[in-house]
Amino acid sequence: MASILRFRKLCYVEPVKFQSFQPQKIDKKEETVATEAKTALEKNEKRNKRQPKEWSCINSCCWVIGYLCTTWWLLLVLFNCLPATFPGFQVLESPGTRLKLEGLTALHPVVLVPGIVTGGLELWEGKPCAEGLFRKRLWGGSFTELLKRPLCLLEHLALHNETGLDPPGIRLRAVPGLVAADYFAPGYFVWAVLIENLAKIGYEGKNMHMAAYDWRLSFQNTEIRDQTLSRLKSQIELMYVTNGYMKVVVVPHSMGVIYFLHFLKWVETPPPMGGGGGPGWCAKHIKAIMNIGPVFLGVPKAVSNLFSAEAKDVASLRAMDPGVLDSEILRLQALEHVMRVTRTWDSIASLLPKGGETIWGNLDWSPEEGHACDLSKKRYSQASAGDKDTNDSDVKMGFHVKESKYGRIISFGKETLQLSSSQLPSVDTKEFLGTRTNKNTNSACGGEVWTEYDEMCRETIPKIAENKPYTARTVLDLLRFVAPKMMQRVESHLSYGIADNLDDPKYNRYKYWSNPLETKLPDAPDIEIYCSYGVGIPTERSYIYKLSPNDKCKSIPFRIDSSVDGDEDSCLRGGVYLTDGDETVPVISAGFMCAKGWRGRTRFNPSGIATHIREYRHKPPASLLEGRGLESGAHVDILGNFALIEDVLRVAAGATGAEIGGDRVYSDIFRMSDRVNLRL
């Protein structure tokens, strides 16, 4: 009994005095009990020491989450409590509200034509991995399915590699209505701000329409598979009749610009190839075409996308952490999967540069030479159509830079840019064609062929990169070599040249209709065409490449050399030459047709349709309350630009180009256009 009492006192009353206990006064049995008690006490102390550390970690996480949530809610409450007139936080009155007070009301029906990527796609038929997703968005929306099953999503987004249509057992279709492209993702607007402002002056479903289509397909395939062009024709005719025979104002954006250009030719062409509207259809139904962020002559970014599945942002990310995109954990290999999918989309190929070296320059010349790369120092001056000296003055006033080889869209190695054309080896992809045969296919790859590089003899890859620059003409030959299946399919639907004789019957085929240099505008002199785009943002123009250190058979053998930079005054940053534009489309592509190609009566514009250039100088948001910016000139964000929205509303309400101010030019587009030697 005495031993039990001592044990109780040891464990619960005075554990700290254990060492003062006199062992000589305890018998052997009691000594055993004491030893066991000491061992239990040590274990209890260790357990008590570990417990606070474990709970401390959990508590820290909870506190961090709590702080973040509390801060977010406090900012939200503060935002809603601030008065609208608080100094520095006053939000400008929306164009729709202001113009409504001026008496503007809806007059002409409006058709919105979205561009590439921004339109939603929903599932109508899929593979077992997409079970439960019927009529749910696989593209555009919350993108939760991308995180849950990315490979399944990519499988459904890809088209058939030979037909460019649906793969067996998969059907994705464009989401109909205004919700198709009002928001790309929750909180990320595309057309929503413009739609809201149109609604404020009286627009609604009966006089406003979103011409949604499957942006992955070639333009003629949207008609073959979905009859999208026929439905657009019927919708315009219906809106024309039901709105008092008022002509329609069409507002295309980005790739939607050349999609609608294709429609203009298709609608007047006799069936079965065209819509059978006759030569006067456009003149009867269309008042104005307000092209936003137009890609009339393509974008160099499409070249890098098809060649190596990357652009400047991707190259920068890879340079910071190459393991993210090049990892093979769980067969990730993100860029290879992206290339496998995007090479089935004819829409990407529709954005390849058009006009060849005449428009984009050759080995020794480009229309952008003399461009000032530091746009923060460039002094933009407003110029009219006839005031070309204003553009030249910017170059003469200390902003002239070293001659940049913009015409070399792809170069291997920085030293290639320093050499004159006479010192460079000639580019002839025909010398490679004999080596690209099935017998040279690397059989070690096995399994699924992700890219056409897997069917290519790896011995020919270094030959492509032997100090050879590629221009807008030869880069097409390069793509024909590295991706022959894709280019064979694409070139049955698209063309990239300049027509010598537009009256040649061959130009009545649909493959030429989306190229403004190989088709005529309709005979409709009363239509007005606007080229509206942002300027003042460094935009990708040409690339420095290198061979990829990863030589595995499923890898992409080329990548942008992001380690290459120019000097202080150079336009070369991170392996990419930059020029003026809207971050995606260079000025020469967005503005050339309105500045020169269609200006006045030309062979591309025989009826003399009036053209207007409306440039919007980029200005970053002044505060968080402006969101992505009320004066942004970025390619997508410009759809929330208040000045652009006001122009659209005024034209829709009946104003002409002259009444809204005619040309508004901040860039060097007239100087660039004058340097292009194109027969008009």
pLDDT band at 91 (very low <50, low <70, confident <90, very high): low
Higher pLDDT, 381 or 275: 275
Residue 15 has pLDDT above 50, yes or no: no
Smallest CA-to-CA distance from 91 within 648, 617, 642, 646 is with 642
Closest to 293 measured CA to CA, from 261, 251, 263, 265: 251
Predicted confidence at residue 456, as pLDDT, reads 74
Give the SS3 label for residue 651.
helix
Q: Which amino acid does the sequence have at 614?
A: R
Categorize the per-residue pLDDT at 22 as very low, low, confident or very high, splitting at 50, 70 and 90: very low
DSSP reduced 3-state for 35: helix
- Taking the C-alpha atoms of residue 86 and residue 218, their distance in angstroms, rounded to an integer, is 51
Rounded mean pLDDT, 622-649: 91
Clarify whether 635 is annotated catalytic: yes
What share of the chain in percent tops pLDDT 70?
A: 75
| Catalytic member of 582, 647, 663, 668 | 582
| 219's tokens | 């333009």
pLDDT of 492 over the 70 cut: yes
Identify the pLDDT of residue 420.
79
Q: What is the mean pLDDT of residues 297-301?
A: 97
| pLDDT for 270 beyond 60 | yes
Work out the percent of the chain whose per-residue pLDDT is above 90: 58
Where is pLDDT greater, at 176 or 31? 176
Q: Give Cβ neighbours of residue 610 (< 8 Å, ≥ 6 apart).
A: 527, 528, 529, 657
CA distances from 189 to 151, 181, 192, 640, 650 (A): 27, 8, 6, 8, 22
DSSP state of 492: T
Rounded Cα distance, 576 and 574, in Å: 6
Tokens of 154: 């990519």
For 20-38, b/e burial (b = at least 16 CB within 10 A) is eeeeeebeeebeebbeebb
Residue of higher predicted confidence among 86 and 349:
349
Average pLDDT, the chain: 83
Predicted confidence at residue 230, as pLDDT, reads 97
- Whether 209 is catalytic is no
- Average pLDDT over every residue of 125-132: 92
What number of other Cβ atoms are within 10 A of residue 229's Cβ?
23
Helix (H, G, I), strand (E, B) or coil at 541: strand
On whether the CB atoms of residues 670 and 391 are closer than 8 A, the answer is: yes
Q: Give the 3-state DSSP-derived string for 439-482, with helices as H, strands as E and coil as C.
A: HHCCCCCCCCCCCHHHHCCHHHHHHHCCCCCECCCHHHHHHHHH
φ/ψ of 169, rounded to 5, equals: 80, 10
User: Which amino acid type is present at position 534?
Assistant: G
The residue among 528 and 396 whose pLDDT is bigger is 528
The model's confidence at residue 27, banded by pLDDT at 50, 70 and 90, is low
pLDDT at 384 over 50: no
What average pLDDT does the segment 175-182 reach?
A: 95
Catalytic residue among 108, 635, 663, 673: 635
Specify the 3-state DSSP secondary structure of 673.
helix
CB 365 within 8 A of CB 408: no
Q: How far apart are CA 476 and CA 490, in angstroms?
A: 11
Q: Is 227 helix (H, G, I), strand (E, B) or coil?
A: coil
Q: How many CB atoms lie within 10 A of CB 231?
A: 16
Q: How confident is the model at residue 391 (pLDDT cuts 50, 70, 90)?
A: very low
Look at residue 231 and give its three-state secondary structure.
helix
For residue 123, the surrounding DSSP H or E stretch is: strand 121-125
Q: What is the mean pLDDT of residues 113-133?
A: 94
The catalytic residue among 218, 254, 304, 562 is 254
CB atoms within 10 A of CB 48: 9
**Cα(660)–Cα(510) distance, integer angstroms:** 35
Position 381 scores a pLDDT of: 46
> 3-state SS string over 652-667?
HCCCCCCCCCCCEECC
The three-state (H, E, C) secondary structure of 48-111, written as one string: HHHHHHHHHHHHHHHHHHHHHHHHHHHHHHHHHHCCCCCCCCCCCCCHHHHHHHCCCCCCCCEE
Residue 427's pLDDT is what?
Answer: 65
Residue-level length of the chain: 680
User: Does residue 39 have a pLDDT over 90?
Assistant: no
Q: Can you say whether the dihedral through the CA atoms of 314, 315, 316, 319 is positive or negative?
A: positive
Burial class (CB within 10 angstroms; exposed 0-12, middle 13-18, buried 19+) of 585: buried
CA atoms within 13 A on the CB side of 373: 19
Question: Would you say residue 390 has pLDDT above 50?
Answer: no
Residue 348: per-residue pLDDT: 96
Q: Report the C-alpha gap between 170 and 168 in whole angstroms.
A: 6
Active site residue 254: yes
Q: What is the model's pLDDT at position 72?
A: 66
Coil vs helix vs strand at 542:
strand
How confident is residue 237, by pLDDT bands cut at 50, 70 and 90? very high
Structure tokens given for 119:
């339109």
Report the C-alpha gap between 554 and 561 in whole angstroms: 20
Q: 226 or 85: whose pLDDT is higher?
A: 226
Better pLDDT: 633 or 16: 633
What's the pLDDT at 78? 64
Residue whose structure tokens are 């406003």: 208
Among the listed residues 312, 225, 263, the one whose alpha carbon sits nearest the alpha carbon of residue 581: 312
Long-range contacts of residues 279-283, Cβ cutoff 8 Å, at least 24 apart:
279/522, 279/523, 280/523, 280/524, 281/522, 282/522, 282/523, 282/524, 282/527, 283/522, 283/523, 283/524, 283/525, 283/526, 283/527
